Amino acid sequence: MELHRYHDVNSRGTIERLCYSVKEKDGKEAAKYANVYLPFGYDSGASYPTLYLIHGGGGNPDAWLDCSMIKNALDASIAEGRCKPFITVFPGFYNHPPVRTGRVDEETERGHVLRFQQELRNELIPAVESRFSADRSRQGRAIGGFSMGGVTTWFAFLENLDLFSVFMPLSGDCWQFGGLGGGKETEKTVQYIHDRVLAQGFGGNDFRIFAGTGYEDIACPNLTPQIERMKQDQDLFRFSDNPEEGNLHYVLMENAPHMYEKVYQHVYNYAPFLFARQD
């Protein structure tokens, strides 16, 4: 795995704040924001692929930027020609900052990321694409995330496959059947994923999954069984160690616990392949 080291590049992208509002269950509006990375040389007359990159549990739209060198990794990747320029959106899946009083309740967290699926479709993507020069096709959109952001990514695969063609779940498994379901309910989870792809009218040529975690990451015992079982479903998931081939990829990183400072390396590693081909 190619690792990112800080690059002192001159062609730096910029971060802008996008403010928008969402409707809550009681009909009231909640004010929200997302941080949007625009690549160096951003041209409002062009059209850019867009990655939606989701934070982990307890986080917010600033988490990736505050806790890792993700911006420098994007700057360096684009400046060195490792990948084509793309927009990166850092949203938040909470409507209000979470209050931590003890152990995180898995069902509450699951509820937040499920609700966020409608926000993606109805508020966030329209807000991004009305303000920025983003490619509006599903081939031009990718979604990924860390930890609960990885869980969010799997739910996007299940509920919003018509919006995205590329998925990057990092250190987070599918919670369709409850918390940590990728490990606890592996067979049911993978069968449901399979069925949902077909129910949404798609097949194996219509998506790519770039997954990753670390051997020391607390997510490894649940994400790994899910991926290993998906590999067996060869009529839909074509696993390959080469990110340019197949539609399912998985990287386990050494010396990588459950931290933004480690997991952002997967974004750096996968950046050249997210929008490298149009199926």
Residue 277: is its pLDDT beyond 80? no
Task: Give the CATH number of the domain where residue 179 resides.
Answer: 3.40.50.1820
7 occurs within a structural domain: no
58 occurs within a structural domain: yes
Residue (of 161, 160, 183) closest to 171 by Cα position: 183
pLDDT digits (tens, 9 = 90+) for 112-142: 999 999 999 999 999 999 999 999 999 999 9
Q: Quick check: 148 and 56 in contact, CB under 8 A? A: yes
Angle at the Cα of 71 from the Cα atoms of 35 and 122, rounded to 5 degrees: 30
Task: Give the pairing type, strands 50-54 and 87-90.
Answer: parallel
Angle at the Cα of 242 from the Cα atoms of 240 and 247, rounded to 5 degrees: 50
For residue 89, report the phi and psi dihedrals to the nearest 5 degrees: -105, 125
Rounded to whole angstroms, the Cα distance separating 243 from 35 reads 28
Give the range among 20-24, 60-64, 145-149, 187-191 with minimum mean pLDDT: 20-24
90 occurs within a structural domain: yes
- Categorize the per-residue pLDDT at 103 as very low, low, confident or very high, splitting at 50, 70 and 90: confident
8 occurs within a structural domain: no
Task: Provide the residue type at 160 as one letter.
Answer: N
For residue 218, report the phi and psi dihedrals to the nearest 5 degrees: -65, -15
- Summarize the confidence of residues 168-180 as an average pLDDT: 98
pLDDT digits (tens, 9 = 90+) for 199-221: 999 999 999 999 999 999 999 99
- Mutual angle of helices 220-232 and 186-199, in 10-degree steps: 60
Going along 75-152, which residue ranges are E strands?
Answer: 87-90, 141-146
65 occurs within a structural domain: yes
Domain range enclosing 133: 14-274
Count of domains in the chain? 1
Residues 5-37, buried b or exposed e (16+ Cβ, 10 A)?
eeeeeeebbeeeebebebeeeeeeeeebbbbbb
Rounded to whole angstroms, the Cα distance separating 5 from 73 reads 8
pTM over 0.95: yes
9 occurs within a structural domain: no
Rg (CA), the chain: 17
75 occurs within a structural domain: yes
Rounded to whole angstroms, the Cα distance separating 21 from 19 reads 7
2 occurs within a structural domain: no
pLDDT digits (tens, 9 = 90+) for 51-95: 999 999 999 999 999 999 999 999 999 999 999 999 999 999 999
Q: Quick check: 141 and 165 in contact, CB under 8 A? A: yes
For residue 32, report the phi and psi dihedrals to the nearest 5 degrees: -135, 170
**Sign of the CA dihedral running 75, 66, 181, 114:** negative
Task: Provide the residue type at 89 as one letter.
Answer: V
Q: Quick check: 186 and 230 in contact, CB under 8 A? A: no
Q: What's the confidence (pLDDT) of residue 22?
A: 96
pLDDT digits (tens, 9 = 90+) for 245-268: 999 999 999 999 999 999 999 999
For residue 87, report the phi and psi dihedrals to the nearest 5 degrees: -80, 145
pLDDT digits (tens, 9 = 90+) for 6-44: 999 999 999 999 999 998 888 889 999 999 999 999 999
- Mutual angle of helices 148-159 and 186-199, in 10-degree steps: 40
Rounded to whole angstroms, the Cα distance separating 173 from 243 reads 20
